[in-house]
Amino acid sequence: MVQQAKKTINENDELAAKNTALIDGVRKFALSVTDLEIDLIDRINPFGEAYAILAKSMSEERLKLVAEAIAAKRVNLTVEEARELAKRARRFKQERGRLPSLTAADPWEKRMAEGVAFLQRKVKEENNG
């Protein structure tokens, strides 16, 4: 049967052309798509994969600690400003029962936390030499 079908296809070229018409159409479409030069990458995040791994293996609390440590490194204050902010942060803690957070939505609370973080970083630097 297979030999008879092959013989029929070989004898009738029109039938063979109909069988490949769909494939030929797909090839034309596929080639036209590959010829397009479109850059859909807005920007590359080199840390995206590492962040995804950390997000799966670390708790929310740990990720907040990492975010606070990064935010603390960005703080640029004088020692006097930081001391004043630390005094206000102490009052904040007495009033609310917690320290100000570097990730707080309130800009004033965030500023007080930056002052505390700045002083903590300075103390560590002095202790380490």
Domain residue ranges in the chain:
2-34, 60-128
Q: Say which range, 47-51, 84-88, 108-112, 119-123, has the weakest mean pLDDT.
A: 47-51
Average pLDDT, the chain: 76
Q: What CA–CA distance (Å, rounded) separates 83 from 90? A: 11
Which run of H or of E encompasses 121?
helix 107-128
For residues 79 and 50, the model is more confident at 79
Give the phi and the psi of residue 105 in degrees, each rounded to 5.
-75, -30
Which pLDDT score is estimated for 35?
61
pTM for this model (two decimals) = 0.47
Residue 32 has pLDDT above 90, yes or no: no
Report the C-alpha dihedral over residues 85, 91, 94, 96, rounded to 10 degrees: -70
Q: What CA–CA distance (Å, rounded) separates 118 from 81? A: 10
What is the mean predicted confidence (pLDDT) over 17-42? Answer: 62
Residue for token digits 């079908």? 5
Q: Say which range, 26-40, 48-62, 63-77, 86-100, has the weakest mean pLDDT.
A: 26-40
Residue 56 has pLDDT above 70, yes or no: yes
pLDDT tens track for 111-129: 998 898 888 888 888 888 6
Q: What CA–CA distance (Å, rounded) separates 120 from 129? A: 14
Which pLDDT score is estimated for 78?
87
